[in-house]
Each structure stands twice: as C-alpha cells, then as structure tokens.
Structure 1
Amino acid sequence: MKNALFLMTLAAMAGTSSLAIAQAKTDGVLTVATIGEPPTLDAMQTPTDIVLMIDQHIFETLFTYDIKWKSVPLLAASQPTISEDGLTYRIPLREGVKFHDGSDFDAKDVVASLTRWMAVNSKGKQVAGVVDSIAEDGDHAVTIKLKSRYAPLLATLSQASIILPSEKIADTLTEFVGTGPYALKERKPDQYTQLVRFEDYKSPDGEPSNYAGKREAIAKEIRFVPVPDANTRVEGLISGQFDFADSLPVSAFERVEASGKAKPVIYENAGWASLNMNMKEGLLTKKALRQAVQSALNPSDMMLAAFSDKRFFSVDGSIFPKGSFWHTEAGVVRYGEGDPETAAKLIAEAGYDGTPIRLMTSRQYEFHYKIGEVAKAYLEAAGFKVDLQVVDWATLTTRRADPKQWDIFITHSNFPGDPTTINTITDTYPGWYVSDQKAKAVAAYMDATSDEAKFKAWEGIQTVIYDDAPLFKAGNFNALTGVATGVSGYMPTYWPHFWNVTPK
C-alpha cells in the first residue's frame, strides 16, 4: 500500500513538473544587454556579430554549424547529393516549415533568397562567381550547378544567407519575416529590439549542438537592449535589470561571481589574435625575415600580458583550436617560447640592415596594445629595431590598406566555419599574401568534396602558411558574458542564442 501511494505521489509530482515546464514556455521574458544598436536586421547587407546575434532568432539558413563547426542541415532536410564531378548539388528541403507571415517555406523562397544573397553579400558575391545556376527542383528541393568545384559552399550557406519569403524580397527590406523560433514584434532604435515566440515554429531534429539540433522557444519574449558601455552592462546584470549581458571585461569576473545575482560564463575560443606581416612592400617581403619574426616571438608571454589570467586564453600553434574539426598540428614550426638565436641567424642570412620594423597596434583593443608591447621586446632581443606605432583603430585600418605605411599590424578574428574564409589567406587582405604554393594548396582544397579530403587539403594550407610566414598567431582568447541566477539552459556560443533557455 505504501509503495502504491509512493508511486501515485511521484506521478502527481511528474504531472506538476510538466505543467510547470509548460507554464515556463508561455510567459517568460529574457532581457539581453548587447554591445550596441544593430545597424540593420538585414544580415545579407551587414553580417556583423551584433546583427547575426539577433537575426539568428528570426531567420534561418539552409545549413548551420554544429559543435565542431561543421556545416549541418537546418532548413535543408539533409546533406546535399553531390554529382560525381563535384559540380551539381541537390539540396532537399524540410517540409511543413512556415514563415512568420503564415506562408509555406519552399524551393521558390530559397532560389529568390540565394539570388539576392549573391547580389548583395560579400561572401555571396564570391559564390556568385562560381555558380552557373540555382533552380527549383520541385517544391522541396533546389539544385545548384557550379562552374568549378567550390569546397566552402556549405559553409558559406551557413551564415548570412538567410531565407526570406520570395514575396517579401526587395533591394531594401521593409519587412523582416523568417522561419526562426522568434518573430520580430517591434524595434525602437537605441532602446530595444523585441522578439516574440513564433507559435507555429517547426524545429529541426537532433540534440542541441552549437547552432544545430532542437530549437525550442521557451521564453515568450526576448528583448535585446543596446548598452554600449561595458561597465553599465555589468551593473545592469548584477542589479537584476538584465538576464544576460554580452561581452564583459575580464576584470568583472570576480564581481559578477560574488554578486549572488548572476554568474559569469566563459565562452572558450571566441577568437584568435595575430600579427600580420606586409608581404607586398618593405622589410618583410623577405621570407627569412618573416620567419625570423616567427622564431623570435613568445606567444605565452604575449597572451599572458594581454589577458592576465589563464582562464581567458590558450596558446596553440594550430590555427584552429582544439575541438574544432579543423584542428591539426600539421606544418606548425617556429612556434614556442621564443628562440632569439634562431631568429638572429635568420636575420643575418637575410642581410637585415637595421631599418626599424613598423609595428602598428591600437589601445581601443587593449589586448592588441599589450601584445604589441611584448612583441617589441622579443623582436628587439632577437636583433630587430622596432618602431611601435600606437594609433586608434580607425587610423590603423586606414593605414594598413597602404603597403608603404607599415610592416606588421595586430588584429584578431573569430574562427570561421571554413578555412578558406580566413582573412589572411585572401590575396587582397592587407598583408597581400600571394604565393605559388599557397595558390596550389588552396586549389587542392577547393577541389575537395568530402570532409576527409577537405581536412587533408587544409593540413596542406596550414603547412604552407607556416612556411610562407604571412602572420604569427599569438593565441586563442575566451570571451566573458554573464547570465542571471535562475536562468537555465543557456549554452555559450560565439553568437549568443536564447532558444532552449528558460527565464528565471
């Protein structure tokens, strides 16, 4: 009898729990403090982090990134079927998906959206150069025919190539209608962007994995509030004004942790810092001197100076971090604790004449400046003369476009879903990394169609990068955000997202 009563009590508790969960899905609100006001909600036009962060709740793409940053289906029903020659991709589409205006998602919407994307988006324009045609294949599939093999196709279809209703497409969007778990309700510039749950949302299957898998709109509303000052974001989080605060200074970690009102959240491998070298004009057109720079630098000391706390950085010669599909040690050389003797030997072999290296950095990114200070010391210890030029970020980006004005500049980037989209290996990116062996390595990658072939080709590219020495990777850095006590289900990602998150 006691066992029966116990089981009945458990059943009643289970029913109450389910009811509580259902209730949480109806009326919760999440208030998110962002780093500023998005310039637009049209990710095709302006695919910046703040735009993509908000947009991903409204719009969806054919593919998205899983935990290893591999491209997996989102609005696509499965991975594409690729022809034997690698030039034709047939992409099946999920059925039963609706847009926020109630219209059905189909192949016509995909063709119209990708056509616009190839006309207005920078990466879309690159894809347009290799696309022969995009056509409907019935209502629930599209066929993309290429002029030549293009390995990054799925990766470029995983970001900013948002799918819109064909009827709403215009040069300038006036209606922001997607298939995402949340719909745009109201936007008041410099005040908030208000999203509400889309009740007819159809989630993809699978366990949540980065941006892939099940998406459940638990909060009834998400309100994104622009808060440009980082300290104000910290204060708002610990006072209970915000449920989530993005991009906090690492110095706030202990204060948030001790507040009792919120907890700090570290997103590992948010990006990487690098010293990019000028291969077009000046001292570092000589490979031996670029390799001398690689040999001279100490990444551990640079990153420790930049971030002060080992919780916020890691040192790894692989261009992609551990956990990424693309992580490999292939080709990594001249990366360690600094080798002034090897650097001095390379300097002598290159006939260095004592002309100062012009090293540009900015204090608007304080960690850039600190990396620059340590780099200067190590380069001078190896025998270089260094002119450390500290300028504002706008000046740096202007100067780096002119090869006559610099030798090294410091910057940072996120980890892209495809290796060939790394800025540095683009011929036209400041630094102007052009070499025959790079061109051959990239061509081998572009020709690959399977993940295994792509990975092997990427190992070849990384090996060439270390040999040509267009850059020096300082290390990987982590990002700090904060979430209010009582909010559950939040999983840190590069662009923070709030489906599957239960409000307090």
Structure 2
Amino acid sequence: MRRLGQLAACLALSTAAATAAPASAQTLKMVAHSDLKVLDPIWTTAFITRNHGYMIYDTLFAKDAELRIRPQMVDKYEVSDDKLTWTFTLREGLEWHDGQPVTAEDCVASIKRWGARDSLGQQMMAATGSLKVVDAKTFQIVLKEPFGLVIEALGKPSSTVPFMMPKRVAETDPFKQIDDYTGSGPFIFKKDEWKPGEKVVYTKNTKYKPRAEPPSMLAGGKVAKIDRVEWQAISDPSTAVNALVQGEIDLIEIPVPDLFPLLKADKNVSLYGWNAQGSQIIMRFNHLHPPFNNVKARQAAMYAIAQEDFLRAQVGDPEIYRVCNAPLVCGSPYEKSYGNLLIKPDLEKARQLLKESGYDGTPIVMMQATDLLSSNQLPPVGKQALEKVGFKVDLQAMDWQTVVTRRAKKDPPAQGGWNIFYTTTVTVDADNPAGNAFTSGGCDKAWFGWPCDPEMEKLRSSYAKESDPAKQKEIAMAVSDRVMDQATYIVLGQYKAFGAYRKDRISGWLPGPVPVMWNITKK
C-alpha cells in the first residue's frame, strides 16, 4: 500500500501534466515490463526480447485463440504417407524490411539456428535427416525417424519462438548475438532511435502483407493500425501508473497488483487480463557448480519452500494467483500434484538433506532483477527461506538485462557466474514435456542451469515420438515425477497477467500469451 500513498502524492503535484497535449493519434506509447537491451530472440529466452521479436519478425505457423496451430507465413503444407517428409510452401508477397523477397533458403537457415537453441527445436532437429530447399518458395523437412510435433514446434508461441530471419542473419552462430535486425513482420525496428534505458521505437511496415483471416491471438491477419509504437522505459510502477492516468502514455503491459485500485478508479482506464492462460513462476538452479550440482542440495531447497510466501510477495492478490506444485501446470491435461511439497515446508528434512549434500557453507549467488515486475520480489523471500535451513545466500541486485546476460555464463559463481535466479514463463510454454524448456536434461544444450539428465532426455524424446494420447500422458507424468525427484527446478506457483490501457484512446488489444501490438486502433 506504500505505492498508493506515493501515487496519490504524485497526482496531487501534477496538475500541470493533466493538461498536457495527448499523444499523437498515430503513436502508441506504452510501458513494457522491462527495458530492452538484448535484441536477439534466439540468443535469449527473455520475454522482453521475445516481445521485440513479435514486433519485427514473422513465423511460419502461429497459435490461435482456440490454441490451434495455424499457417502464418506458410500458404500450404503436405505430409508424406510415412509422415517423414514435410513440404512447406510460403505465401506470395512476403518481403523483408529491406525489400528483398522472403525465400525458402531464409526459412531453412532460420529453422537451423532456432533448432540449435530451443529445447523443442533441438528434439525436432535430432529427428531430422535433412532440410531441403525445393525452390524459391518451397522447402522440406525430411525426418530420419518419427517426430509427431513438427507443426507444434514451428508454431511454438513463446520463448524460444522460431522467428524467420534473412539467410545472412540466420547464419550467425546461434551462440552469438545478431547485429542485423531486418525482419518481415508488421513493424520495423528503428535502431537509430533506440535509447536503452529510455525508449524503443517501431514504425509500421507499410509493405507487410497480412493474412486474409481475422486476427486470432497470434494467428490470422497481423494488421498494424498505428504508425508508430514507442516503448517508454519507466521502471517505477507508481510513475508508470501516474503517466497512464495523466494521459502521457496509452498502455502499461503489466502494472503491479497493489496499484489496481487506482487504475480501477479511473473511468478512462481499463484493466485487461490479456494472458488468460496465465504464467508460471520458477526458481532455477545452476547444476554445473556446488552446491546445486548435488541433487540433495537441490532437494533441501525444495523442502524449504512455501509457494504462497513467494506469490503473496510478488503478486499480492489471491484472486489472481494460484498455489500449484504441478511442474506441467495446474489446469493442463498433464497436471499432477505432489501433496504438501512446496506448499508446507519440512524444515527438518531440508536441514538433513543439506547436511547429506556436504554443503560447506560457501554463500550461494542469488541474482535479483530489481526492475522486472514479474519476479523482482521473489529473491528476498527465497533468501529467507533457504537461510532458515542452513544455506548462506549472497543476494546480488542488478537489472533484468544483466541477469539475462549473466545467466548465460557457465563460470563459477565466484568468477561472475551464479547459483540461482528466478523467472516466469507463460503456461502455454510449460504445459507439456516437449515445449517446457525447464525440464530439459540435455547438458550443454539444456536451458540456462544446464541439467545433465539422460533419463529425462529419454522421456522427453519418447513423448515427442509418441502419437497415442494415453501413452503421451503416461510419459508426461513420468517427466513430472522426474522434475520433482531430481529437483530440476522449483515451481513457485501460477498467476494471471493484467495490463492497463486508456480505453478512451485505444481498442483492439488481442488476448494471448504475448502482448501484441497489431490490431490495436488508436482513437
């Protein structure tokens, strides 16, 4: 409630701002959930970079509001009788922002780069014998063994999204960042106006050819109805809400819940649950270095946790959060609960496991992204919980983009590495073993934290090859069990994301797991 007082004072002192000229009718000004510093959506899974990706790139397939995968850049596709050869033909009229046509060669190179980094992409590429260019608009994925998730992989809605890039860009080493941001999507990134810590600017791609179908979540016609989008970097939640109330901006991607009453009180502002499917919060371990290279140390941390402490601190409102210890998401077909684990701590068991792990008292490095409103309140809660059972915690504050860069380092914690960080993912990325990057046990190819678990990889591979839904579910339950048994990561619960916007100015914000700016109209 401290922020309420701050905002009330701010409003009382800003009568001059109330009479300021409104934003241009063709410019959408918004506050994103964090500042944008990393521009390569294949190099990182950070959601702010994913959102940037959706502004400027397009995808071969996309997920609609009914959670069905639909063609996007693809016009048509065929599958051979043996299910091993997939042939894709691109739509006519697709162009890169530099005016060059989008070709099959571009798409093949983009799939290869994405497939080297994404966990589902890695599985698909492992089952692929070759990627073939047939002609300028047609290419094939030729499998060497059954893989039942080809379309699901190419239509993956969130991190890491298989965005299509020009061949010259897609040939960049997947473990190095690109420096050319030419896309083919509905908006164009204005690098010359990009000021990290201040603003990001996009302009309408007037040559973009949208699909003829109505827009539906991430699928259908991506029609940019505004000329310019500006992401304003305002890290203080009260300042952002004040700017919205005063009409200085049009939209906030994720305002903090304790400011909802002030937003609801303004007749010109609407709270909007754009991510109805919700998000999942996790604590991620670094499996490479002590103490969490030892399963008993990870289990000790797990038995020290009470999810609601984290949810209360970060989300606040019980109406929009859910205590849930199912790794593959509560409310999904693969939901499986585990009694009081992560719900009610067992401190004695945690202390015993920590002792058995041989933990030597070296402080663990826990990163805190102070500017990320979806997880910035979690680390202090985690520090307190772990210290209760005998861990020593070095809580290090930094901005989210520093976390994004640092979490990719495999160096020991004392040499600039890390032991724990926190993140969130949309539930549509976590509700099955193939798409859930956190479950990967692929060693160097696994998501940040790099668990090395051959048994887990065998399960995930079996899931991807299985076509019988009943057997898929059986495998998914085994994956869930493995996550909990090995304490691969810690699930901290789920919540629904709400945005806020000036309803007297804009309309057409589409629901989905990603905040998309096409289809929005400014009055």
Q: TM-score, normalised by structure 2?
A: 0.72
**What letter matches 2:517 in structure 1?**
F
For residue 183 of structure 1, report the CA deviation from its aligned partner. Answer: 4.9
Counterpart of 2:20 in structure 1 is none
Matched, 1:329 2:335: yes
The one-letter amino acid paired with 2:91 is R
1:442 maps to 460
Offset of residue 310 of structure 1 = 1.7
Instruction: Determine the structure 1 residue equivalent to 2:516.
Output: 497
Give the Cα separation in 2 of the matches to 1:241 and 1:489.
20
Correspondence for 1:74 among 52, 72, 75: 72
Q: 1:115 & 1:60 partners in 2: Cα distance?
A: 15
- In the TM superposition, residue 474 of structure 1 has moved relative to its aligned partner by 1.3
> 1:143 deviation in Å?
0.8
* Alignment size in residue pairs: 463
State the Cα distance separating 1:473 from its structure 2 match: 1.0
Which structure is larger by alpha-carbon Rg, 1 or 2? 1
Distance 1:45 1:275 in 2: 21
Change (3 A) 1:438 1:299: same
SS in 2 for 1:77: strand
Separation in 1 of the partners of 2:421 and 2:286?
A: 12
* Contact map agreement 1:354 1:385 (CA 8 A) in 2: no
Tell me the residue number matched to 1:9: none
> 1:383-402 maps to which residues of 2 (within 5 A)?
384-393=389-398, 397=407, 401-402=411-412
Aligned counterpart, 1:58 = 56
Map Cα deviations across residues 383-413 of structure 1 (whole Å, 9 max, x no partner). x323232123458848974279999624113
Q: Counterparts of 1:439 and 1:423 in 2: how far apart (Å)? A: 12
Measured at CA, do residues 371 and 475 of structure 1 come closer, stay the same or move farther in structure 2, by a change above 3 Å? farther
Paired residues for 1:318-357 under 5 Å:
318-322=326-330, 327-330=333-336, 332=338, 335=341, 337-338=343-344, 340=346, 344=349, 347=352, 351=356
Aligned-partner Cα distance in 1 for 2:357–2:171? 56
Q: What residue identity is the alignment partner of 2:163? A: I
1:412 corresponding residue in structure 2 = 423
Give the direction of change, closer, same or farther, for the CA distance of 1:273–1:157 in structure 2 (3 Å limit). Answer: same
Instruction: Report matched runs for 1:208-227 at 5 Å.
Output: 208=216, 210-217=217-224, 219-227=225-233
- 1:165 deviates by 6.1
Q: Structure 2: how far apart are the matches of 1:491 and 1:69?
A: 14
User: Cα RMSD over matched residues?
Assistant: 4.3
Gaps of 5+ in 1: 1-26
Unaligned 5+ runs, structure 2:
1-24, 173-177, 371-375
Given that 2:187 and 2:204 are in contact with CA atoms closer than 8 Å, whether structure 1 keeps it comes out as yes
Opposite residue 425 of structure 2, the aligned amino acid is: N
Q: What corresponds to 1:195 in structure 2?
A: 203
The one-letter code of the counterpart of 2:104 is: V
Larger mean CA deviation between 401-410 and 52-61 belongs to 401-410
Q: In the aligned structure 2, how far is the partner of 1:170 from the partner of 1:301? A: 45
Measured in 1, the distance between the counterparts of 2:168 and 2:412 equals 44
d(CA) in 2 for partners of 1:59 and 1:65? 15
The 3-state SS of whatever aligns with 1:263 is strand
Shift of 1:97: 4.9
Alignment equivalent of 2:251, drawn from 211, 231, 244: 244
Question: Given residue 402 of structure 1, which amino acid in structure 2 is its aligned partner?
Answer: P
Contact 2:59 2:73 in 1 (8 A): yes
Letter in 2 for 1:409: I
C-alpha distance in structure 1 between counterparts of 2:266 and 2:106, whole Å: 50
Of the three residues 108, 111, 117, the one matched with 1:114 is 108
Shift of 1:364: 3.4
In structure 2, relative to structure 1, the CA distance for the partners of 1:347 and 1:150 (3 Å cut) is: farther
Deviations 1:101-124 (A, max 9, x none): 67665xxx1322331553588527
Contact (CA 8 Å) 1:37, 1:189: kept in 2 or not?
A: no
Residue 17 of structure 1 corresponds to: none
C-alpha distance in structure 2 between counterparts of 1:30 and 1:280, whole Å:
44
> What displacement does 1:226 show?
3.4
Identity, in percent, stands at 16
Tell me, yes or no, if the aligned pair for 1:230 and 1:248 is still in contact at 8 Å: no
Q: Secondary structure at the match of 1:371?
A: helix
Change (3 A) 1:339 1:185: closer
Structure-1 residue corresponding to 2:269: 262
Decide which moves more: 481-490 or 268-277: 268-277
Shift of 1:30: 2.5
Equivalent-residue separation in structure 1 for 2:101 and 2:289 (angstroms):
55
Q: Secondary structure at the match of 2:70?
A: strand
Normalising by the residue count of structure 1, what TM-score does the alignment of the two structures yield? 0.74
State the shift of 1:81 in Å: 1.9
Is the counterpart of residue 425 in structure 1 residue 440 in structure 2? yes
Match of 1:317 in 2: 325
Q: 1:369 aligns with which of 366, 379, 383?
A: 379
1:391 to 1:80, Cα distance in 2 relative to 1, 3 A? farther
Q: Distance in 2 between matches of 1:349 and 1:309?
A: 33
Structure-2 residue corresponding to 1:30: 28
- Check if 1:299 corresponds to 2:299: no
- Is the CA contact 1:246–1:481 (under 8 Å) kept in the aligned structure 2? yes
Is 1:469 aligned to 2:466, yes or no?
no
Match among 94, 99, 113 for residue 91 of structure 2: 94
What amino acid is aligned across from residue 335 of structure 1 in structure 2?
Answer: L
More deviation in 54-63 or 86-95? 86-95
- Native 8 Å contact 1:100 1:198 kept in 2: no
Matches of 1:257 and 1:459, distance apart in 2: 41
